[in-house]
Structure 1
Amino acid sequence: MATNFASHHCLVVDDFQGMRYLMRDMLRECGAVHVEMASNGKEALQRLLERRYDIVLCDYNLGQGKNGQQLLEEAKLRQLIGPATTWIMITAEKSSDWIMGAVEYQPDSYLLKPITADLLLSRLEKIAVRKQAFADIAQAMSNKQYTRAIALCDERLAYDTVNASELQRLKGSLLLDAGEIDAAQKLYETVLANREIAWARTGLGRICFQQGEYEAARDHFQISREQAPGYLEAYDWLARTQQRLGDAEHAESTLSAALKLSPNSPLRQKSLGELALQRGDLDVADAAFRKSIAVGEHSILKTPEAYLGLAKVCSKSSRSDEALKVLKSVQHQFSDDDVALRAKSAEGMIYTQENQLSKAGAVANELKQMLQERATRPDSTASLEVAELMLATGQRDQAVSLLQDVVRNNHEDNLLIDKVQAVFDSANMKAEGSNLVEACRREAVELMNSGVLLARDGKLPEALAAMRGARDKLPANARVLFNFAFVAVMYLQKLGTDEALIEESRQALREANRVSPGEKRFSQLMDALNKLEQR
């Protein structure tokens, strides 16, 4: 049955007026009535902020500013379009670089110019059929209702043979997001028993990675890469695994291979720069950070780490003046408190390396003032870098306090704990630092368990109060946040519905999922809160 597009709101984005009108007229031939137009990325973003569109036809090249891919990425990340929106990218280019770059934020389809109304209508109708098949699942995913989304996948798999592969892929991803590791593993193994598929092989690798089985994970990702050389997700996971195995050289090689296929990823270029900097390969690091900055200029995926990394490369290459200019640039580009702390810390370390101790001390004092004026704690990376400068300039107490806070909020993250210990080691505080780390870990465990033990003894009001206190002390500790929500659910089930507490618990779970995604308890506790709200 043909789709009726008369009620659909459509947006055409193209920097050439003639093409805008041509695409508008084609949409009208397809039956669309409500068609609006934008001539560049900035204007398109404003339109997307003002209303929800059902169909977006977007040219890839939009002149100065954002290109079509960058516009799509920002629209998805800012949730300006939903799963029901059809986004078609239109281009005259046949180069695969930009298509390969759209790994995570893909449009629904690509059309090469010249196009006709018949071709457009055919593509729109095919997408509409697919959207309809996945509409309920997509909505459940948007609401982070993973259990419901998985059940909907199973319902559709019972009869939909056309979309079976995509439904299996989606279900596997949902199972991982929901923390249902055993079920995800079974699904991937069942798929691979029939034929080798890159997403299933990569799924098994992700499970091994999550379980700390890094050698097995590496083998899965290598097989996936060999079987599907264009499947970039396998490259990213392989590089991540090689880093966990301490094989930075091969991790750098893996990212370099991925960037030959897709050179315009700001995040992947940044990751290559960080690896090369870690290995002392300053020429590669310099080029990668500069490329990340260049391709990310108009992208929401632009990252301060590229600027901060470039500043470190310049400093190590005895180009301190350029390093300081880059640090000023990053503070201008990103109005973020943590970025400001990191830039100042990097500036202070440059002065320390040049033995300009009075300047380094002045920067450390500025950082101390910045910390006092903040309403929130700095993130872990900023805390580590500030602490390093504080220790180098003799401000021991402030540095130790920052490092203790990092450990308490991340007491199960061994990689991060190692970085904390390395900061202590560099300040000739190895034994003292080790003792401080262990004490903070014990404190975090006690806080994490306090409310749960009270709840199991039936002391629910006391348990909830204890977990609130733990959450306030450790607001970025995923285990504490999950335990707060667990105790809150027990309290609500026993003592009755409280809308404010339900929302408070949801906020804690969202933060826990941000800090530690893929935990089984996230979906379980969210489902429990939804049931409590409905009773």
Structure 2
Amino acid sequence: MPTVVMAGRWPKGITMNQMIASNAPNAAAKSVNWTDKHYLVIDDCASIRQLLRESLRNMGAKSVDQATDGGEAIALISNKRYDVILCDYHLDGGRNGQQILEEARSNNLLNPSCIFVMVSAEKGADSVMGTAEYHPDAYLIKPITEGMLNTRLNRIWQKKQVFKSIDLAYARKDYAGAAALCDIQIVGNKLHENDLLRMKANLLLKCGDRDKARAIYENILCQRDCAWAKAGLARFYVQDGDYAGACQMLQHVIDGNSLYLEAYDQLAAAHKLLGQQEQAGTVLERAARLSPNSVARQKTLGEVSLGLGNVAAAEKAFRKCISVGEHSVSRTADPYFALARVCGIKKAPKEAMQILATVQKKFACAASDLRARITEGLVYLDNQDQRAAMVIADEFEAMLSAATAADLPSANICMDIATLLLEVGIKEPAVKLLCHIIQNNDDDKSVRDAVEKVFACAQMGDEGLVLIENARKEATDIMNRGVLLWKTEKLEVAVEWMRAARLKMPGNLRVLFNTAQILISHVQKRGYDPALLAEASEVLALIDRMAPGQPRHVELRLQLESIMPDPLAVGGV
């Protein structure tokens, strides 16, 4: 059967011979030559390391490195590219196996073809489910026989070869080429067709081809029930604003597969977008029972629980988040500040202050000092120390009087500052701060609900609703004016208008998207302008940091790349 590259796109860096070889029938029966490969065994038990090393050597391995803990393992992985890593889940003194895998993946320390096998005597659901979320290539329960290890590694290696060229194209950010390679591999590897289609859909999304990605999910669901296709389709529902449809689809996924943890997180997020905080909390609690060692999930559960007034559940989640995150690459200061606030609400100010002192040592920076001071003021308020809270509130009033919109922190921190100011009677700067939050998040219902709650707690419920609506209208009017100038070909004026809009609303995604679109259109219609191209690239990079994975970002990035000049032509070569 002839090889076909979809849409005429030949993957970069792939030769004809490589293409033919990669499309050969699956040769799972072939025995892998393990002699020339590099291995790392990570275990704190010398006898287990010795056993695994001998098993590997009996398979032909010559280069076998060893590590006794997470720190030593990460140091080795950072300096050498391994083909096979066998890692114990439970390690003394620091990172566990899950955290080693998480850090290695986050920092791109593993080759696409590297086999990462988690090894453990632990059969408990906590360990197995938690590790599964980070997708090791296998999870083997001790004791491990040489035959078991050999069979499993051979099977994984053969599968890795199917995906190797795709992974390499992905690493080069050649997403269209990687998607074409998926089609090629499907022809000769029907055994892995399901995984290849799933990968292709994700790659198409990265290319900005939403219609083809969606068609993959819909075609699969016409043929069979498939959890990942439903979850993929639910992401489209969310992007299209159909949050209720997303909730229904994701609930179907969970009903059919109660261990599909990704669907729980998606479902909770969809409920939050609908303003259904209680439902989001229920979903997260269930997911946390199945897999309690996710830092991100515990943090989100704590935040939702605290918002619902469930202080006990919030405290449990934040303490767990701190515990499991201590040696994780995902560790942040957020749960520490949240736990300090919980202690304040529980009338335990001494413990709250101890936590704040701890977080300032662990995360020493100006941002941590700022948040610690805000939290300290809120703890004073929770414990009726109005005078101490007023001192801190005065500091923030002075700070806000000199700050620009770009100087202001995130929405959650701004809400805490506004809460503190309103509680001590400093109204005007608090109202400005809350309106700033609304204008930068004008289409986010969960943010609007949170701001409404701040106003309600300050006995400003009706007035707050009017202020919120006026802030949203002002933001919409500003954006509509910019779009009108663009559509009427007043591009120079439109560019300046959107620059002013960015100064006023630096965190508003719609403002940023429209700014990038107008800058790109200016170059398309008025000609090459390196300053405008650089500005558009800067805006798109900011969007990607703030909200990665946005479909419109991909579309605009492709537009920008299409008008970028050839470097050789610009250089006069």
TM range (shorter): 0.7 to 0.9
Out of 219, 222, 225, the position equivalent to 1:190 is 219
Give 1:246 shift: 5.3
Out of 226, 229, 238, the position equivalent to 2:267 is 238
- Aligned twin of 1:252: 281
Is the Cα contact below 8 Å between 2:377 and 2:393 reproduced in 1?
yes
The structure-2 alpha-carbon separation of the partners of 1:439 and 1:222, relative to structure 1 and needing over 3 Å to count, comes to closer
The structure-2 alpha-carbon separation of the partners of 1:361 and 1:462, relative to structure 1 and needing over 3 Å to count, comes to same
* 2:510 aligned with 1:510: no
- Aligned twin of 2:376: 347
- Aligned twin of 2:442: 411
Amino acid of the structure 2 residue aligned with 1:228: N
Give 1:452 shift: 5.1
Aligned ranges 1:350-365 → 2 under 5 Å: 350-365=379-394
Instruction: Note the alpha carbon deviations across 1:287-339, whole angstroms, 9 max, x for none.
Output: 33322222222222334443333333333333232233233333333345545
Question: 1:202 aligns to what SS in structure 2?
Answer: helix
Give 1:486 shift: 2.4
- Aligned twin of 1:47: 76
Instruction: Note the alpha carbon deviations across 1:139-178, whole angstroms, 9 max, x for none.
Output: 4544555555444434444553221111222234445566
- Aligned twin of 1:523: 554
Is the Cα contact below 8 Å between 2:377 and 2:420 reproduced in 1?
yes
Give 1:231 shift: 1.3
* 2:364 aligned with 1:316: no
Amino acid of the structure 2 residue aligned with 1:385: D
Hey, what's the Cα distance between the residues in 1 that align with 2:530 and 2:261? 43
Hey, what's the Cα distance between the residues in 2 that align with 1:514 and 1:11? 34
Question: 1:302 aligns to what SS in structure 2?
Answer: coil
Out of 317, 322, 325, the position equivalent to 2:354 is 325
Hey, what's the Cα distance between the residues in 2 that align with 1:344 and 1:93? 43
Greater shift, 356-365 or 85-94, is seen at 85-94
The structure-2 alpha-carbon separation of the partners of 1:140 and 1:474, relative to structure 1 and needing over 3 Å to count, comes to farther
Hey, what's the Cα distance between the residues in 2 that align with 1:251 and 1:96? 23
The structure-2 alpha-carbon separation of the partners of 1:174 and 1:425, relative to structure 1 and needing over 3 Å to count, comes to farther
- Aligned twin of 2:12: none
Aligned ranges 1:254-333 → 2 under 5 Å: 254-333=283-362
* 2:450 aligned with 1:423: no
- Aligned twin of 2:11: none
Give 1:378 shift: 0.8
Hey, what's the Cα distance between the residues in 2 that align with 1:481 and 1:120? 52
Question: 1:163 aligns to what SS in structure 2?
Answer: helix
- Aligned twin of 1:93: 122
Is the Cα contact below 8 Å between 1:145 and 1:526 reproduced in 2?
no
The structure-2 alpha-carbon separation of the partners of 1:216 and 1:531, relative to structure 1 and needing over 3 Å to count, comes to closer
Give 1:70 shift: 0.9
* 2:14 aligned with 1:15: no
Is the Cα contact below 8 Å between 1:136 and 1:152 reproduced in 2?
yes
Question: 2:118 aligns to what SS in structure 1?
Answer: strand
- Aligned twin of 2:6: none
RMSD (CA atoms): 3.5
- Aligned twin of 2:513: 482
The structure-2 alpha-carbon separation of the partners of 1:488 and 1:22, relative to structure 1 and needing over 3 Å to count, comes to farther
Is the Cα contact below 8 Å between 1:153 and 1:171 reproduced in 2?
yes
Give 1:382 shift: 0.8
Aligned ranges 1:144-183 → 2 under 5 Å: 146-175=175-204, 182-183=211-212
Instruction: Note the alpha carbon deviations across 1:63-104, whole angstroms, 9 max, x for none.
Output: 111101011112222333353433221222222321201344
Unaligned stretches of 5+ in structure 2? 1-29, 567-573
Q: What TM-score do you get using the length of structure 1 for normalisation? A: 0.86
- Aligned twin of 1:217: 246
Hey, what's the Cα distance between the residues in 2 that align with 1:103 and 1:366? 47
Amino acid of the structure 1 residue aligned with 2:71: K
Aligned ranges 1:27-106 → 2 under 5 Å: 27-106=56-135
Question: 1:162 aligns to what SS in structure 2?
Answer: helix
Give 1:526 shift: 2.2
Give 1:262 shift: 1.8
Q: What TM-score do you get using the length of structure 2 for normalisation? A: 0.81
Is the Cα contact below 8 Å between 1:348 and 1:363 reproduced in 2?
yes
Hey, what's the Cα distance between the residues in 1 that align with 2:456 and 2:486? 40
Is the Cα contact below 8 Å between 1:270 and 1:292 reproduced in 2?
yes
Hey, what's the Cα distance between the residues in 1 that align with 2:149 and 2:206? 35
- Aligned twin of 2:419: 388
Hey, what's the Cα distance between the residues in 2 that align with 1:247 and 1:467? 34
Is the Cα contact below 8 Å between 1:178 and 1:518 reproduced in 2?
no
Amino acid of the structure 2 residue aligned with 1:187: I
Is the Cα contact below 8 Å between 1:342 and 1:386 reproduced in 2?
no
Is the Cα contact below 8 Å between 1:450 and 1:467 reproduced in 2?
no
Is the Cα contact below 8 Å between 1:178 and 1:522 reproduced in 2?
no
Hey, what's the Cα distance between the residues in 2 that align with 1:310 and 1:365? 24
The structure-2 alpha-carbon separation of the partners of 1:301 and 1:111, relative to structure 1 and needing over 3 Å to count, comes to same
Give 1:495 shift: 6.0
Give 1:385 shift: 0.9
Instruction: Note the alpha carbon deviations across 1:95-130, whole angstroms, 9 max, x for none.
Output: 232120134422122233333555444433433333
* 2:408 aligned with 1:377: yes
Is the Cα contact below 8 Å between 2:36 and 2:62 reproduced in 1?
yes
Amino acid of the structure 1 residue aligned with 2:152: R
Hey, what's the Cα distance between the residues in 1 that align with 2:264 and 2:506? 33
Amino acid of the structure 1 residue aligned with 2:507: A
Q: Give the count of matched residue pairs.
A: 535
Is the Cα contact below 8 Å between 1:308 and 1:343 reproduced in 2?
yes
The structure-2 alpha-carbon separation of the partners of 1:304 and 1:177, relative to structure 1 and needing over 3 Å to count, comes to farther
Aligned ranges 1:423-442 → 2 under 5 Å: 423-430=454-461, 433-442=464-473
The structure-2 alpha-carbon separation of the partners of 1:149 and 1:477, relative to structure 1 and needing over 3 Å to count, comes to farther
Instruction: Note the alpha carbon deviations across 1:443-480, whole angstroms, 9 max, x for none.
Output: 43455456655555555555545544544543322222
Hey, what's the Cα distance between the residues in 1 that align with 2:270 and 2:196? 27
Give 1:35 shift: 4.2
Instruction: Note the alpha carbon deviations across 1:260-308, whole angstroms, 9 max, x for none.
Output: 3222223333333334333433333333332222222222233444333
Hey, what's the Cα distance between the residues in 2 that align with 1:487 and 1:367? 37
Is the Cα contact below 8 Å between 2:281 and 2:304 reproduced in 1?
yes
The structure-2 alpha-carbon separation of the partners of 1:86 and 1:311, relative to structure 1 and needing over 3 Å to count, comes to same
- Aligned twin of 1:199: 228
